[in-house]
Structure 1
Amino acid sequence: MRDPDGLLSRAGVRGDPNRDQHFLVDDRVLDRLTSYLPDETDTSHLLEIGAGNGALTDRLLAIGDHVTAIERDPNLAAFLREEFAEEIAAGRLDVVEGDALQVDLPDFTACVSNLPYGVSSQITFRLLPLDRPLVLMFQKEFAERMVAESGSGDYGRLSVSTQHYADVEIVETIPKKAFSPPPAVESAVVRCEPRDPDYEVDDETFFLDFVKAVFTQRRKTMRNAVRNTAHISGLDDADAVVDAADEELMGKRAGNVPPATFAELATLAADVGRDESDD
């Protein structure tokens, strides 16, 4: 297995916090990351976003038949093509140079990545709808919001949206010293196992937009939040939704409403609060 410090030295680069570059250099953490994939995961085509100096790429090649590594830094992408020339020639590795939010993603079977933290939310919500197992590194605070339950201080739009797609669990907290250079915050590894939610929504886009809208006014009661955010959620008649909804629910705040209840309310809102022409 390639030594991460050796890879960093051969790459001839230093991490740059201003460019969201923090290289994971702890062998023990790197070795554990792939073990967090759910049992029976199909490892025939693994995806890595933010491949950096290739330390995790090397571990993915050890367990996967094929790996696609996406890296936006041209110098690092060139280094990966040189360092892993043998694996590329054997057809086991593709290095894609570009922005993970813009490039075409391959038909991967699972993803293990130390994500660039500045765009981790956008990347995650590009991956979650694809229903693949994910093991992703985030800022610890972000990870805690992903897994939070209703009624907790961390619960919010991110919690509802993430848990709509998957069972999510923090499997390890990573200290700053595991990275070069050390980031300003602790990190955490989150495992996402895709599954259908235990509720139904007719219009997933509206449901997610409705949740997003209401949480912009999380300190308001649901009654006021629904009324004040119709321009965000796309409601034509917010008052009709408030009148038709459960009065006790309308007196709660968004942070105390579980995902299944949000789904019920979004279904009601779509039914009574939108013009038929919007459907």
Structure 2
Amino acid sequence: MPAIDSLPPLREVIATHGLAAKKSLGQNFLLDLNLTAKIARSAGDLTGADVLEIGPGPGGLTRGLLAEGARKVLAVEKDARCLPALQEIAAAYPGRLEVINADALALDPSERLTPPIKIVANLPYNVGTELLTRWLDPADWPPFWDSLTLMFQREVAERIVAQPGSKAYGRLAVLAQWRCTARIVMELPPEAFTPPPKVRSAVVHLQALPEPRFPADARLLQAVVAQAFNQRRKMLRASLKGLRPDIEDRLLAAGIQPTDRAETVDLERFCALARNLES
């Protein structure tokens, strides 16, 4: 396949700048520019959109996002070693790449971006789930972003899209599917990365809904789901007994049998229970 731009191959970039991946930063670099371009395309039409990228490393996905027409890419990179390589990309795409040397967990990027905003990232494994839960749980909804296209360990990706009755179904599935449409759009084997991780990876696309699927107070829904899944082997009448003394009646009112376990209860009934508890 033809090169996506005139910049050097990523292996050459890594060798030039001495960018050996650091395990402490959860780094696994994806070096195939055709794959990074495919990930960029899975985020949908990027023309006319600003894109937030977390952990760009040597810039493979960054180049894919720019080549696919992103209006602007805001790349947040904690590892200062990667900055010279990212600045070379910025020079090749004048005015379209802004690089910030910062910890994504300590940064509010929204004021640097203009809607519509998409978040596309090969997230560092050690902060991926925490960043996702923050993006899914803002103070106000809809959020500042329109969609998330994120790479995770396959196990985490399966938890995001899991359905009731499966072993992967839990708090993350409820949180993600309450406010988004979520689907796995790509899978990648370990050998696609340098160094190869011990697990398979997958890209998940989450499209924000204008409003949650079912009405519920966000804090109360999270409290209910957290308590239910923290003791997922217990019947709900036992795991939720600390919420209300009449929890069995409230479960029945929400269409849930007191003897049900959390992994069998769908999103709609969890929301119904949260509304009942609020009343």
- Structures share fold, TM-score greater than 0.5: yes
> Partners in 1 of 2:168 and 2:39 — Cα distance?
25
Determine helix, strand or coil for the equivalent of 1:116: coil
Superposition RMSD on alpha carbons, in Å? 1.9
AA at the equivalent of 2:129: S
Partner of 2:277: 269
Q: Deviation at 1:42?
A: 6.0
**Which has the larger displacement, 243-252 or 90-99?**
243-252
**Which has the larger displacement, 141-150 or 71-80?**
71-80
> Partners in 2 of 1:263 and 1:49 — Cα distance?
32
**Which has the larger displacement, 129-138 or 174-183?**
129-138
Any stretches of 5+ residues in structure 1 without a counterpart? 272-279
The answer on 1:31 being equivalent to 2:45 is: no
Any stretches of 5+ residues in structure 2 without a counterpart? none
Quickly say closer, same or farther: Cα 1:134–1:244, change in 2 above 3 A: closer
The answer on 1:4 being equivalent to 2:10 is: yes
The answer on 1:161 being equivalent to 2:175 is: yes
> Partners in 1 of 2:124 and 2:148 — Cα distance?
15
Q: Aligned residue pairs: how many?
A: 259
Partner of 2:72: 66
Say whether the 8 Å CA contact 1:70–1:98 is kept in structure 2.
yes
Q: Deviation at 1:115?
A: 0.1
The answer on 1:53 being equivalent to 2:58 is: yes
Partner of 1:256: 264
AA at the equivalent of 1:149: Q
AA at the equivalent of 1:59: G
Quickly say closer, same or farther: Cα 1:216–1:6, change in 2 above 3 A: same
Say whether the 8 Å CA contact 2:46–2:70 is kept in structure 1.
no
> Partners in 2 of 1:110 and 1:35 — Cα distance?
12
> Partners in 2 of 1:242 and 1:43 — Cα distance?
51
Say whether the 8 Å CA contact 1:226–1:242 is kept in structure 2.
no
Partner of 2:134: 126
> Partners in 2 of 1:102 and 1:163 — Cα distance?
26
The answer on 1:86 being equivalent to 2:100 is: no
AA at the equivalent of 2:105: L
Q: Deviation at 1:87?
A: 5.1
Q: Deviation at 1:254?
A: 0.1
Quickly say closer, same or farther: Cα 1:116–1:200, change in 2 above 3 A: same
